[in-house]
Structure 1
Amino acid sequence: MTATSTKTSPPEPRRRRKNNPESVRADILAVATREFSEKGLSGARIDEIAEQTRASKRMIYYYFSDKETLYLHTLEAAYQKVRLQEAELDLDHLPPLEALSRLVRFTFCHHAKNPDFIRLVMIENIHHGRFLAQSKLIQSLNAGVIDALTNVYLRGVEEGCFREGLDPRELHWLISALSFFNVSNQHTFSRIFDWQQAAPENQRKLEEHVTDMVLRYVRPDEVTPQP
């Protein structure tokens, strides 16, 4: 009787978990954005953020030192996201009216799709912009959007489709204000006036109205013919 020998494969080496610092940081910031936007700086807790991420509380402190630093980085990430997307609009290669229309529509839709961003901005206003003022990154990012809008505006004035005398910062304020209110006051406005503001068809109408209002604002005043 011959015994049949069975060959056993050697055990596979254990796969070591590879820590990707950028991925870990992004995960922490995504959860922190939600926590800070819902509970504010004082209400958010590092313990709760750690429970919802792949990182430990100790690791969060390793990357961000303390809760206020994490909050500041969360603000920076939120502003960086919107400004990077604005930079991809390719406004310099579009006619001025089309470029401005694209920027307005982008701003309106971005804010509508990112209510966490709006709430973070509202929370930072409660703190009188104290943390935002500490960030050179945010200041440089926001200067960039004004530069881009200035270029569009000056091209429009040169081509005669925009009126002279407007301040690009005030134009940016107008675009932001109309788009911001759509999110910040959505629930109260809907309840007060019994109107489903968030309904897709109403959002499409509002996007059209906001775009039309801004474009009418920048166009040259029409000269009424004398009788």
Structure 2
Amino acid sequence: MPPTAPAKRAPRAAPTRTNDPERTTANILEVATHAFADKGFDGARIDEIAEAMHTSKRMIYYYFGSKEALYLAVLEGAYQRMRAAEATLDLDALPPAKALEALVGFTHDYQLANPDFVRLVANENMLHGAFLKQSKTIREQNASAITTVQRVCERGVRDGVFRGDLDPIDLHMSISALCFFNVANRYTFSLIFERGPTLPKSAVAKRRERIVEMVLRFALK
């Protein structure tokens, strides 16, 4: 008697609750971004994300395959959005000092307006970058952050307004640190020093001005 042929695996059924896969994917990522930013990877649950979307876990797994893959897509998307917004700055049209001022101001404003980005980065650092290191695109996505600073620095040095020993990565790190702290540490800082986590617009503007000033004073000759 000839051996029985192995049963063919049934093809995965397409989702039936949407005719717009791109919109569905974007909606999943939007809800998942808030969930992972709020609760971290371990705390966020797929069933809660599905419930918030009024859909099923099956739909989410259909598009992303696993919670890990969804989380990585959220991280990559968060960085991609910041770099895309940064790319709209026409820094080459500005004198070097003004370009650096614009870049620092943008970083401050973006992170303040997008606390989910800050929380996602902080959460991933608590995981020692375990998921982001699996990304095949994250370094390429963020290369522009350094080339942007490098172009500004090179023009500033060439024009004789910036010190000659500026390191683009070091400068980028300093800018990020000064802006990141305002969001990442707002609650602990406010509790310890009795400065509310939600500051008046005038205080936010003053803090922004000080950050720009500190970076410029460091970069200028």
TM-score by length of 2: 0.89
Whether the aligned pair in 1 keeps the contact of 2:18 and 2:24 (CA below 8 Å) is no
1:42 — aligned with what?
42
Q: 1:160: how far off? A: 0.7
> What is the distance in 2 between the residues matched to 1:94 and 1:58?
50
2:90 — aligned with what?
90
1:74 — aligned with what?
74
1:212 — aligned with what?
213
> What is the distance in 2 between the residues matched to 1:122 and 1:53?
25
In the alignment, residue 27 of structure 1 is paired with which amino acid? N
Q: How does 1:5-154 map to 2 (within 5 A)?
A: 19-154=19-154
Q: Which consecutive aligned stretches of 4+ in structure 1 deviate over 2 angstroms post-superposition?
A: none
Q: For residue 164 of structure 2, give the secondary structure of its aligned residue in structure 1.
A: coil
- What are the ranges of 5 or more consecutive residues in structure 1 without an aligned counterpart? 1-16, 221-227
Greater radius of gyration (CA): 1
Residue identity over aligned pairs, in percent, reads 53
Q: 1:196: how far off? A: 2.7
Q: For residue 161 of structure 1, give the secondary structure of its aligned residue in structure 2.
A: coil
1:180 — aligned with what?
180
Q: 1:197: how far off? A: 5.0
Q: 1:54: how far off? A: 5.0
In the alignment, residue 172 of structure 2 is paired with which amino acid? H
2:3 — aligned with what?
none
In the alignment, residue 23 of structure 1 is paired with which amino acid? R
Q: 1:90: how far off? A: 1.3
Q: 1:131: how far off? A: 1.3
Q: 1:56: how far off? A: 2.3
- What are the ranges of 5 or more consecutive residues in structure 2 without an aligned counterpart? 1-16
Q: 1:194: how far off? A: 1.2
> What is the distance in 1 between the residues matched to 2:161 and 2:56?
56
1:171 — aligned with what?
171
Once the two structures are superposed, residues 73-92 of structure 1 have per-residue CA deviations (whole angstroms, 9 ceiling, x without a partner) of 00011000000000001112
Whether the aligned pair in 2 keeps the contact of 1:27 and 1:54 (CA below 8 Å) is no
